[in-house]
Structure formats: C-alpha cells, structure tokens
Structure 1
Amino acid sequence: MVSAFHSDVRRPWLWLGSALCALLVVGLVGVLIGMGRLESQTSPGFDLVLRQASMSLMLIVAAVMGSFSFTSDYRAGCFTRRVLLFQRAPAFTARLVSTVLAALLAGTTVGVLFGVSGELMDSAWGITPYAVLAFTGTAAMGSMWGFALGSLIRSHMVSLFAVPLSLVLPDLLSATSRNTEQFLFPVLAADWADHIAIHIPATGSFAGAMIWLVVVTAVAFGMFLKRDLA
C-alpha cells in the first residue's frame, strides 16, 4: 500500500490535473463575477448565489478530475500494470487517496483565490478559514464521488458526461420529487458547504454525504476486485 501510494503521488499528471482543475474553476468563477459586475445594480443575494455556484462548479470539476484519474490510466492500460505490481486492493486504494489529496490542494487554492477576489473588490465575501474549508471539502467529496463512478463506468468518454449528470440530477428531479432530492448526494454536499462557509455546523448533511460516498466507494471497490481488467 505504501509503495503504491508513493508511486501514485509521483505521477506528474496527478498534480497537473489538480492545477488544471483549480484553473478551470477559477476561470469559470471569474466569468461569473465579471457577468455580475456588468449589471448596473447587483441584487442583494448575489454574493450567496455566487458562492453556491462556485462550490457547485468545484464539486463538478473535481468529480470529473476524479473519474479521469481512473479512466485515463485504465484506457491506456497503465492501471492494469499497476495491479500487476501492487495487487488490486493497494492499487485502487492508493489511487483513490492520491486523487483526493490532489483535489484537497485544488479546493484549497480555489477557496483562497475566491476569498482574495472578494477582498480586492471589497465585496461581502472574503478569506475565512471556514469558506476555504467549504471549497476544500467540496473538492474532496467531488473527487471521491467521481473516482468511484469512474471505476464503475470505466469508459473515459462516457464518464465525462455521466459523472456531471449524476451531480445535476437533483435539479432535474426537483420539479417532480422535492422530498426525494434532499436525500441525494449533491444536495447533501451542497447543503454542508453552504452552512460550513458561514460557520454553521451541518452534521446531518455531512453524515448523509459521507454515507453516500462510503457506499458508492465500497461498491466500486468490490466490483474492482471481481471484474476483469481487460
């Protein structure tokens, strides 16, 4: 396990993917801020909407990065060689841990830059430990979710569409089943991030999101141990 983890964290693409993830989110958030500034009069709830949209982007981009962390190497045959070197369980676990670690770095970077933008523009948001924690936790959750789904889907291109769809699904279901969507992973993760950003504990949402992550990851791990790698 230790050898597999050391091998994973030395992969250049791991940290390049983390940097690209952070740059993509920062760029999209910058576009949102720019569009908001073009309005002649910003609505009172703009800061809240911007923070929620930014963390939603963080969740989706981190999930795609997490899925690609598995599917890109699986498509190239690199993951099969890693299994031959380290066995299945250590290879899967090390890749998952390194992927989440890289997402933590990306989330922290985005959270700090988001706070800096607020300080520079003298806006309602700024740099606070809890706001940064919200982005960091969101990125970690998203990467773990994406990695688990990516290992189940295995197809590089299919996961590019399926993983983001799994995170926007509650919005698609909101018109038909409002009672059901509140128990889905994306809603629980977003609710936790919204509350923790303003220093309000949301243990119920956090526990619910963790249950989803543990179940999906356990299923993915079990399937990985049994399925053919060819």
Structure 2
Amino acid sequence: MVNLGPALLSDLRRPWLWKGSAISAALALGLTGMLFVAATHDAGADTTGLPALLLDAVTSLVLTVSAVFGSFSFTADYRAGSLNRRVLLFQRRPAFLGRALSTAVAALLAGAAIGLAFGFASAVLKVAGTLSPSLVLAFAGAAAMGALWGFALGSLLRNHLVSLFAVPLSVALPGLLPDLSQPMTTFFFPVLAANWAQQAAVNIPASGAFCGAAGWLVLVAAAAFTVFVKRDLA
C-alpha cells in the first residue's frame, strides 16, 4: 500500500474528476431549483410539511446524482482503457482505493455546495428552514455516501451504459416496492442514508441510520475491492 498516497494525489489532479463533480452538482442544483419553483408557485397553497418534503426530495436527488457520478468515475476510465495504465503505475489495490477516495472527496465538496445553495434558497424563500452547518454537513455526507455506493457498483458492473441505468435504479428501488414491503425497505442503503441526512440536517441524532448505511457501504465496497483485485481487467 506504499503507492496509495501517489495514486490518490494523481487521482485528485484528474481534470475529469472535478468536471464530473461540477456537472453532477449543477444537475442536482438545476433539479433542486425546479423543486423550489414548483413548491413556491402557488403562494396560497398549504405549506404544512413542505420543508420535510423538500428535504426528502433533494436528499434523494443528491444520493442518485452522486451515485451516477461515482459509477462513472470507474466505468469511464475502464471503458477508455486508462484504468489499466493506472494499475501498471500504482498496482491494483492503491489504484482502486485512490480512485474511491478521490471520488468521495469530490462528491463531498459537491454535496457541500448543494447544501449551501439549498440552505440559502430556503432562507430567502422561507419554505424549508435556514442555512446551517448541520444542513451542509448532511448534504456533503449524503453525496459522499452516494458516490461510494455508485463507485462500488460501477466497479462490479464495469459496463458504462448498464451502470447509467442500474445504479440510479439501486437508489430508487426501495421507493418502487409495494407498500407491503415497507418494513423491509427501511434496511436498504438508500433509505438509511437518506434518513441519516434528513435527520442530521435538522440536528437530530441518527447514529443507527448512519451505522446501517456505513455497513452497507463497507460490505459493497469490500466485495468490489475483492473482485477488482482478482478479476481480469481486460
């Protein structure tokens, strides 16, 4: 693991990493703006529960967009063949861990920017609370979790086009299941991550949801790491 530092620094200098995170943040901000416009369009509408609904929607949006960004962080280089060159330079383990960490860092900063914009817009429009450090932290954490989830799944799937559909589906799947499965869906990663972010945003301790989401990430990332180390890169 001597090469982990150089691999991480090399990944952090990749232009695509920051371009991709900027594009994902811009997409999330654009869709968030549409949600705010829809929420404030009818000035006479009942706004009871609107802050919670907006926070829920934007949190899910950040998770989904970050997961796609995370999957592309692997599959784009794999499709182009440049991932093989990174393995030759840094070996497999440092190359994988460096890419995963750099992806999480970029998503963390993008999520923080989204949290700042969400809090500022909420304060100005007076529809969903105010800007606070906990709100920014919640969005940053949700983005990092989503990116790591997408990166792990992308490394397992390896197909750029398949990841584009499969990764967002993995985040949206709990909401698509029938109501009869509601108790079971609370143990899925997207639900746990979203619950943690929504509660952390309003300063409510949510250690159980955080530990559950982190457990999912460790499990999936460990599986992806094991497969990457042993599987042929061709």
Sort the TM-score into its range (normalised by shorter chain): over 0.9
Cα distance in 1, alignment partners of residues 217 and 115 from structure 2: 22
Alignment partner of 2:9 out of 6, 18, 27: 6
Alignment partner of 2:83 out of 79, 82, 98: 79
Amino acid at match of 1:140: A
Amino acid at match of 1:125: G
Q: 1:218 matched to which residue of 2?
A: 222
Cα distance in 2, alignment partners of residues 125 and 143 from structure 1: 26
Q: 1:35 matched to which residue of 2?
A: 38
Cα distance in 1, alignment partners of residues 125 and 39 from structure 2: 12
Cα distance in 2, alignment partners of residues 166 and 176 from structure 1: 19
Matched, 1:138 2:154: no
Cα distance in 2, alignment partners of residues 2 and 72 from structure 1: 22
1:15-164 counterparts in 2 under 5 A? 15-39=18-42, 40-164=44-168
Structure 1 residue 92: Cα displacement = 0.2
Work out whether residues 58 and 135 of structure 1, in 8 Å CA contact, stay in contact via their aligned partners in 2: yes
Please, which moves more after superposition, 34-43 or 145-154?
Answer: 34-43
Structure 1 residue 195: Cα displacement = 0.9
What's the TM-score, normalizing by structure 2?
0.96
Cα distance in 2, alignment partners of residues 88 and 176 from structure 1: 43
Specify every segment of 5 or more residues in structure 2 that has no aligned partner in the other structure, as ranges. Answer: none
Deviations 1:152-209 (A, max 9, x none): 0000000000001001111122423122111110111111111111101011111000
Q: CA RMSD in A?
A: 1.0
Cα distance in 1, alignment partners of residues 214 and 78 from structure 2: 26
Q: Give aligned pairs, total.
A: 230
- What's the secondary structure of 1:43's corresponding residue? coil
Cα distance in 2, alignment partners of residues 123 and 43 from structure 1: 8
Cα distance in 1, alignment partners of residues 25 and 46 from structure 2: 26
Deviations 1:26-47 (A, max 9, x none): 1000001111111241431111
Cα distance in 2, alignment partners of residues 10 and 74 from structure 1: 18
- What's the secondary structure of 1:176's corresponding residue? helix
Work out whether residues 66 and 143 of structure 2, in 8 Å CA contact, stay in contact via their aligned partners in 1: yes
Moved over 4 A (4+): none
Percent identity between the aligned chains?
A: 55
Cα distance in 2, alignment partners of residues 165 and 155 from structure 1: 15
Alignment partner of 1:229 out of 216, 220, 233: 233
Work out whether residues 130 and 198 of structure 1, in 8 Å CA contact, stay in contact via their aligned partners in 2: yes
Cα distance in 1, alignment partners of residues 79 and 180 from structure 2: 38
Residues 60/80 of structure 1: CA separation in 2 closer, same or farther (3 Å cut): same
